[in-house]
Amino acid sequence: MPLILLLLAILVLVFGPQFWVRQTLRKYGRDRPDLQGTGGELAQHLVERFQLDGVSVREGREGEDYYDPENRVVSLSSSHYQGKTVAAVAVATHEVSHALQHQEEHPGFMRRQKRIKMAMMIERFSVMALMVTPFIFLLTRLPQSTLITLLLGASGMIASLWVQLMNLPVEMDASFNKALPILEEGYLSRDDIPGARKVLKAAAMTYVAAALASLLNIGRWIAILRR
């Protein structure tokens, strides 16, 4: 019984944030014709207002909202780009806030970009090493190659977790130090601000959910290594 309760607690901890994020975006993703414009229109307006030189706004794939610092692109999913919803307005402002961080050379944002590149290199090396290790085992017959494979696999996951954790302060800053004050200037009514705050929290919580999922994967590898 204690083991079952522990497993349930882990599942709630890992998948609970993901469920809450989806429910929040669905709740505040209802059409609101009374809003001033779509998420895409607001994003373009904010880019012009804050004079974010070289930053463009585009409609991307559904479920993918992000700011690409390499190409200086704010990409919004179709429902947020075209939608007149509280969720669309809040998410659009959140992503433009990352462009603001970039322009201001926010220390956390700039550090994150360097760490992301480093983590991607580690992950690529990890994947390549995992592909090569079985051939090394066939050639050498060394039992240690299995342990090496597991360690290499875990290194990629640890790098992913590291990046997710580094993202959290940057996401919180974008949501609550930049996006929320902008929305409170009159882009949303006072009655809609609490809903927008929940959406902005959900935007940051996506990284919490990703970090917890990475942590669960690392836990699995640790369990394998202990056998």
Taking the CA atoms of 64, 156, 217 and 166 in sequence, report the sign of the dihedral they define. Answer: negative
Q: Does residue 81 contact residue 39 with C-beta atoms inside 8 Å?
A: yes
Q: What DSSP designation does 190 have? A: G
| 3-state SS assignment for residue 74 | strand
pLDDT tens digit sequence for 41-77: 999 999 999 999 999 999 999 988 999 999 999 999 9
Q: What backbone torsions phi and psi does residue 28 show, to the nearest 5 degrees?
A: -100, 15
pLDDT tens digit sequence for 171-222: 999 999 999 999 999 999 999 999 999 999 888 777 777 766 666 666 665 5
Tokens read off for 125: 């090396």
Taking the CA atoms of 159, 209, 180 and 86 in sequence, report the sign of the dihedral they define. Answer: positive
Active site residues: 95
Question: What are 75's strand-pairing partners?
Answer: 58, 66
Question: What are 68's strand-pairing partners?
Answer: 73
Average pLDDT of span 106-125: 78
Task: Give DSSP secondary structure letters for 147-201.
Answer: HHHHHHHHHHHHHHHHHHHHHHHHHHIIIIIIIHHHIIIIIS-GGGHHHHHHHHH
pLDDT tens digit sequence for 67-89: 999 999 999 999 999 999 999 99
Q: What's the rounded Cα separation, in Å, for the pair 17 and 207?
A: 9
Beta strand 66-68 pairing with 73-77: antiparallel
Q: Does residue 91 contact residue 199 with C-beta atoms inside 8 Å?
A: yes
pLDDT tens digit sequence for 120-140: 776 677 667 666 666 666 666
Q: What's the rounded Cα separation, in Å, for the pair 65 and 57?
A: 11
Question: What are 73's strand-pairing partners?
Answer: 56, 68
pLDDT tens digit sequence for 169-180: 899 999 999 999
pLDDT at res. 31? 94
Residue type, 163: V
pLDDT at res. 200? 93
pLDDT at res. 75? 98
Taking the CA atoms of 178, 209, 148 and 138 in sequence, report the sign of the dihedral they define. Answer: negative
